């Protein structure tokens, strides 16, 4: 379905991003992988995408805190693979603490990685998409783009910001064959969720098991984590030609969380 397209996926060395990269590759897209982590582990994932799906997969070490490196990541897709047709802004981090104790540096870092990086990547990718009259921009937002939770001020602010950026970019690109959408997952079992459990336990005075059951899954009427494969399947649909009229939307995939 995506043969000949190039997908640049930020934060794709782990979790949801890696599932996106593999799902796009399965549909025949060439991939620019990006994210932090152990070099050997990243190389293993990169090589596996090439051998499992018979596509090209390059790695960009761009740090989402650095606008120049973000532009270079998009350029890598364009120069080495021919284009950047699908841009997935997915890199993200979390920190859990009450506002009055929230470290100022951490606030700035979360806004930079979870929100500003998406703006810098779009800024770099949109000219090529406009010229080719085809593009798909998919931003991983969150249920936290629609509702809040206590102790996640920076994350919730960044994700609400991503919702606004998604709609604005959709309006600016609507006549160029480009769609811009956000995916809003509920809780997906990934390292990002696993890592926040000890801090949430501390902030709420609970055990880690109680956090999993009474905080995370309590929010989701299905009482089950969303899987990375389900999120990736939604992204593949948004990248397809059948989704060409879906733009400026927030696609909720949250086990019913935001219906409550």
Residue 91 and residue 138 in contact, taking contact as beta carbons nearer than 8 Å: no
Two tokens at 33?
């992988």
Shortest separation between residue 81's beta carbon and ligand NAD, angstroms: 19
179-218 residues near ligand NAD, rule: CB under 6 A:
185, 187-188, 190-193
**Which parts of 137-166 interact with ligand NAD (CB under 6 A)?**
140, 142
From 85-93, 95-103, 204-212, 240-248, give the range in contact with ligand NAD by CB under 6 A: 85-93
Q: Is 97 in the site for ligand NAD (CB under 6 A)?
A: no
Nearer to ligand NAD, 52 or 194 (CB): 194
- Smallest gap, in angstroms, from Cβ of residue 144 to ligand NAD? 7
Buried b (16+ CB within 10 A) or exposed e, 154-187: bbbbbbbbbbebbbebbeebeeeebbbbbbbbbb
Size of the site for ligand NAD (CB under 6 A): 29
Under 8 Å CB-to-CB from 21, ≥6 apart: which residues? Answer: 7, 9, 12, 31, 33, 49, 57
- Angstrom CA distances, 52 to 4, 152, 157, 259, stand at 17, 38, 38, 38
Min CB(176)–ligand NAD separation in Å:
26
SS3 at position 56: coil
Determine which residue in the list 31, 87, 91, 235 makes contact with ligand NAD, applying CB under 6 A: 91
Report in angstroms how near the CB of residue 162 gets to ligand NAD at its nearest: 8
Looking at beta carbons only, is 1 or 210 nearer to ligand NAD? 210
Catalytic site includes residue 59: no
Rounded distance, CA 6 to CA 248, Å? 22
Residue 122 phi/psi, 5-degree rounding, is -65, -45
Rounded distance between C-alpha atoms, residue 33 and residue 61, angstroms: 8
Please state the closest distance from residue 246 (CB atom) to ligand NAD, in A: 19
Sign of CA dihedral 115, 118, 123, 129: negative
Phi first, then psi, for residue 90 (nearest 5°) are: -130, -25
Residue in 20, 59, 155, 187 annotated catalytic: 155
Per-residue x/- track, 100-139, ligand NAD (CB under 6 A) = -------------xx-------------------------
Rg of the chain over Cα atoms, rounded to whole angstroms, equals 18
The residue (of 61 and 82) whose beta carbon lies closer to ligand NAD is 61
Residues at the interface with ligand NAD (CB under 6 A): 11-17, 34-37, 63-65, 90-93, 113-114, 140, 142, 185, 187-188, 190-193
Catalytic residue numbers, as ranges? 155
């Amino acid at each position: 379905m995506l043969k000949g397209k190039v997908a640049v996926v930020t934060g794709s060395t782990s979790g949801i991003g890696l599932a996106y990269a593999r799902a796009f590759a399965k549909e025949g897209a060439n991939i620019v992988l990006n994210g932090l982590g152990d070099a050997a582990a990243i190389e293993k994932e990169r090589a596996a995408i090439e051998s499992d799906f018979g596509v090209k997969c390059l790695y960009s070490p761009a740090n989402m805190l650095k606008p120049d490196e973000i532009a270079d990541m998009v350029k890598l897709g364009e120069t080495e693979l021919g284009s950047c047709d699908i841009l997935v802004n997915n890199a993200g981090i979390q920190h859990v603490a009450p506002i009055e104790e929230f470290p100022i540096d951490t606030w700035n870092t979360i806004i930079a990685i979870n929100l500003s990086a998406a703006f810098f990547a779009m800024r770099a990718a949109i000219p090529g998409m406009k010229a080719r009259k085809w593009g798909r921009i998919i931003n991983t937002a969150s249920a936290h783009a629609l509702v809040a939770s206590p102790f996640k001020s920076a994350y919730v602010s960044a994700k609400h910001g991503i919702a606004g950026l998604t709609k604005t970019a959709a309006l600016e690109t609507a006549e160029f064959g480009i769609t811009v959408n956000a995916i809003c997952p509920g809780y997906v079992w990934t390292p990002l969720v696993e890592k926040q459990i000890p801090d949430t336990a501390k902030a709420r005075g609970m055990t880690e098991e109680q956090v999993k059951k009474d905080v995370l899954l309590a929010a989701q009427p299905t009482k089950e984590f969303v899987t990375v494969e389900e999120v990736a399947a939604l992204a593949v649909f948004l990248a397809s030609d059948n989704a060409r009229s879906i733009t400026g939307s927030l696609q909720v995939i949250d086990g019913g969380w935001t219906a409550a």
